[in-house]
Amino acid sequence: MQVNKRHGCLATLFVILIITTSYSAVYVYEKNTVVILNFDEDRAFSDMLNLTSFGPRISGSLGNRQGAEFIAQKFREAGLSNVHIEEYNNTMYEVKSASATLIYLTSNIREPVKRVEYKHMYDFAVQGYSGSTYGTVTLDIVDVGNGTDADYKSKDVKGKAVIVSTGPVNNTALLLQAAKYGAAANIIHNVAEGEYFVNMPYSTCPMWRSEDGLISKAFPDIFPDCKVPSIMVSKKVGTDIRNLLKNARNIPLYGSTVKIELSLDIPITKKPLLDVIGEIRGSGKPDEFILMGAHCDTQYNTVGAVDNTVGTVTLMEMARQLAKQKPERTIRFAAWDGEEIGLRGATEYYKAHKGEIANNMVFYMNFDWHNVNLERSSNCSVRVSDGKYFELFEKIKEDLFKNQPRFSQRYNFSVIVSNEIGADSDAYYNAAKKPVSDYRGSGQWEIHTPLDTVYDNNGKLMLNPESWALGGIMCGSFALKLANGG
């Protein structure tokens, strides 16, 4: 059959356009009408550079507020409506200064007293809600093993510093144990093997879950008398201290021959948490909504590139892509504050909007340090609490991997049905009893340390924006399907 050349050219051009735009345009499949969204990796990376430029974004800090205002600005530019910052007054801490020095007696006549000054954040890190030492104190050190009651009952620790291992007892319980037995300071030894956390000290914050499933108050509000100064030391530092303690002796009027000198200025005050909220208003059922959240705060000792600036910039890019759609239900976005101090921002928002969430929220989606370091692991997953959503996630995965094989070739992506979700999903799953999901990556050893950066000291990129795109496309497409009644 003879074909008109002009029409043939147009037909060929049409086919070429379909092929060349299939990776950048929105896919619409008749089967289940699944829409696979875009994700602009370069734009998300630009957001990453901007947010990490503010420095550590610990709740209550200037960097934290700058980050919240930046996110709100980007939400508005994306076309979201009702963009605002909700403030909740909460108990927070600030590490104004911190020093730790090991002092021990030697057999060297020329240097009978040895002083080893530890480097803050690299040799030791302050734990959240630590008490201040109110000046400089010098304390004997007692090794209490794993921190169990049996370990403590066999030792005299009152008025002394204790050194205890990470592991069998969680860090919250370790702090309570130190206070219970009258210790004057708590030294947590990071005994992690291998390269996990690179054996550096990392900063964590004690948490306490109430019977209703909420982390209902900040730790000092629940235990106001638990003001024990608490630090974590690296594996090497802790091992050195414990080796010295094996040969320590007590000298009359002096005490132990191995001591720790601490000076910690850590005021605990009330300051506002800053939750950044914006939404795409539904066109058919605007009162019903899907909530998507990621915490935008960091620990005090890091810019938190992976934990959780990755989650934050993924949320921002999903907001841009979903704003191009016209969903039936509302899609709401929340950049939570205060996750690192006890899941505070997500919890406070739930408490303030409890009725609306109970009656109108369809699903909660969480994003927390989902970068995938392909040099260490290819694993990533989305955990979903309700099995009835498993098939939809699998359908989106199938369509995405078929049309963008780079994901199937490079990532071991799994959809897991589990009731162990955690993080900022807690209030929405445990208290509100709503279905939730959480997207996670792997190969992240540096979180909660100063090494959680965009580039390492040699200028090597430590992040993988392609893995953010995988999570953003998967979960953004899932959110759109739910918003349209799926």
pLDDT the model gives residue 34? 76
This model's pTM is above 0.85: yes
Residue 447 resides in a domain: yes
pLDDT the model gives residue 445? 86
- Cα torsion 361, 30, 318, 422 to 10°: value is 50
Instruction: Give the sheet arrangement for strand 124-126, strand by strand.
Output: 113-118, 97-105, 258-265, 136-143, 161-165, 185-189, 230-233, 124-126
Count of domains for the chain: 2
DSSP state of 310: I
pLDDT tens-place string over residues 201-224: 999 998 887 777 777 788 889 898
Residue 408 resides in a domain: yes
Which one of 266, 282, 306 terminates a domain? 266
Both 142 and 251 in a single domain? yes
pLDDT the model gives residue 294? 98
Q: What percent of the chain has pLDDT over 70?
A: 92
**What are the residues whose beta carbons fall under 8 Å from the beta carbon of 240, sequence distance 6 or more?**
102
pLDDT the model gives residue 233? 96
Both 234 and 281 in a single domain? no
Both 40 and 168 in a single domain? no
| Token reading at 478 | 């899932």
| Token reading at 350 | 């739930």
Residue 18 resides in a domain: no
Both 181 and 314 in a single domain? no
What distance, in Å, lies between the first and last C-alpha atoms of the chain?
45
Alpha-carbon torsion 64, 208, 368, 450, what sign? positive
pLDDT the model gives residue 332? 98
Domain range spanning residue 350?
A: 31-90+271-483
pLDDT the model gives residue 111? 87
Both 340 and 311 in a single domain? yes
Give whole-number Cα distances, 56 to 25, 51, 268, 305, in Å. Answer: 36, 9, 18, 10
Both 235 and 344 in a single domain? no
pLDDT the model gives residue 163? 98
DSSP state of 372: B
Both 240 and 130 in a single domain? yes
Residue 12 resides in a domain: no
Residue 26 resides in a domain: no
- CATH number of the domain that residue 188 is part of: 3.50.30.30
Which one of 266, 293, 321 terminates a domain? 266
pLDDT the model gives residue 29? 35
Contact 298, 349 (CB under 8 A): no
Would the pLDDT of 15 be above 70?
no
Both 354 and 308 in a single domain? yes
- CATH number of the domain that residue 458 is part of: 3.40.630.10
Task: Kindly tell me the burial class for residue 462, based on how many C-beta atoms sit within 10 Å of its own C-beta (0-12, 13-18, 19 or more).
Answer: middle
When pLDDT is cut at 50, 70 and 90, the band that residue 103 belongs to is: very high
Both 307 and 166 in a single domain? no
When pLDDT is cut at 50, 70 and 90, the band that residue 13 belongs to is: very low
Residue 360 resides in a domain: yes
Q: Picking from 27-41, 50-64, 343-357, 454-468, which range would have the lowest pLDDT averaged per residue?
A: 27-41
Both 182 and 286 in a single domain? no
Q: If you count DSSP H runs as helices and E runs as strands, how many of each does the chain have, helices first?
A: 14, 20
Residue 4 resides in a domain: no
Average pLDDT along the chain: 90
pLDDT the model gives residue 449? 94
Determine the residue type at 138: T
Report the alpha-carbon distance of residue 60 to residue 308 in Å, rounded: 17
Both 106 and 196 in a single domain? yes
Residue 258 resides in a domain: yes
Both 254 and 288 in a single domain? no
Which one of 212, 234, 266 terminates a domain? 266
Report the alpha-carbon distance of residue 306 to residue 385 in Å, rounded: 24
